[in-house]
Amino acid sequence: MGVEFDRFKSAVEIGMAYEHEKSGTTIFLDLVRYLLIIAATSYTVFLIWKWNWIVALVAIVPVFIVMLNLIGFLTLAIYSLTPENRLKRKGMKAFLDGDFETGKALTDEFVERFHVNVSGTSQVPRKQKRAIEGLDHILAWIFIVLMERYQHMFPDDLRERNRHRAGVVINELVVEDLRGDQVQFRRENSGFIEREKEEAIRLDCISKGVLSFLVAKGGLYKSWGHPDADIWITEAKKMESNIAIPSTVKDVQELIDRCLAWYQDHA
C-alpha cells in the first residue's frame, strides 16, 4: 500500500454508511417515494375492492409491502443524485485512485456537512472515544486490503461493486450489522460472501485486523459491563481459543495501537 495510515483513517466513514443527517434533496425524494407508494397501494386496493371488499381489506398490508419494495427498487437509482451520495462517490473514487489527500478532504467535508454520527462517539469519555475511533481505523485498514484484493480478482468490475464486496465481507467477519445496500448485496451474492469469509480470514493482513477488532471491541464492551460484549468475545475465541480479553479501556487501547502499528509496519 505504501502510504501512512492517517491518509486512510476516514475511509470507513465513506465505505460503511454511518448514520448522518439527510439533505433536503433526500427528504424530498423520500416524500415523493412514499406518496407514490400510498397512491399505488390505494389504487390497487380500490381495484380489488370493486371485485371483493373483504379481499381488499385483507390485501391492504400485503399490497403496501409489495409497493414499498417495488417502488423503492424502481426509485433507488434516483438517490444516486443526492448531494450526500455524490460526495460519497467522489470521496471513494479519490481513495481508490490513490489521491488520499483529496479523499480525506472530501470525507471531512461529508462529516461536517451531514453531521455524521460515528458510532455515537460524541457522548462518551475521551479515552473511550479514542478506542472507538481506533476500532474504526482497524476497519479502514481491512477495507483497503480487501479493496486491493477485489480489484485484482475482478479488474473489469465497477469499483462500486468491489466496494460492496469489501464492505459486506468486513461486516460479516467482525460481526457488525449490514447497512443500506449491503443487505441486498449480501442476499444476491451469498455464495461468494460465504466462500470469501473463509478464504480472506486465512490471510495474515485480514486475520490480524479481524482478531484484534473482535478482542478489542469485546473487551471495550466488557469494560462497560455491556451484555453484548460476548458477541465479539465469542467470535474472537473461535479464532483463537486462548486469546486474552482486555478488561480495561487502557488495555483495549494498547491492543488497538499494536494492531495499527503492525499495519503501518507492513504497509
Helices and strands: H and E segment counts in the chain: 12, 0
Predicted pLDDT of residue 3: 36
Identify which of 212, 211, 247 has the alpha carbon closest to the alpha carbon of residue 229.
247
AA letter at 106: L
Q: What is the DSSP code (8-state) at residue 226?
A: -
Q: Which three cell numbers stand for residue 205?
A: 493482513
Q: Where are the domains of the chain?
A: 5-19+123-265, 24-81
Mean pLDDT by 10 residues, the chain (267 residues): 40 48 86 94 94 91 92 87 83 65 71 63 65 88 91 90 90 87 89 94 94 95 90 95 93 94 85
pLDDT at 59: 92
Question: Rounded to two decimals, what is the model's pTM?
Answer: 0.59
Q: What pLDDT was estimated at residue 114?
A: 74
Q: Within 10 Å of residue 177's Cβ, how many Cβ atoms?
A: 7
The confidence score (pLDDT) of residue 264 equals 86
**Spatial separation of the C-alpha atoms in residues 232 and 112, rounded to whole Å:** 31
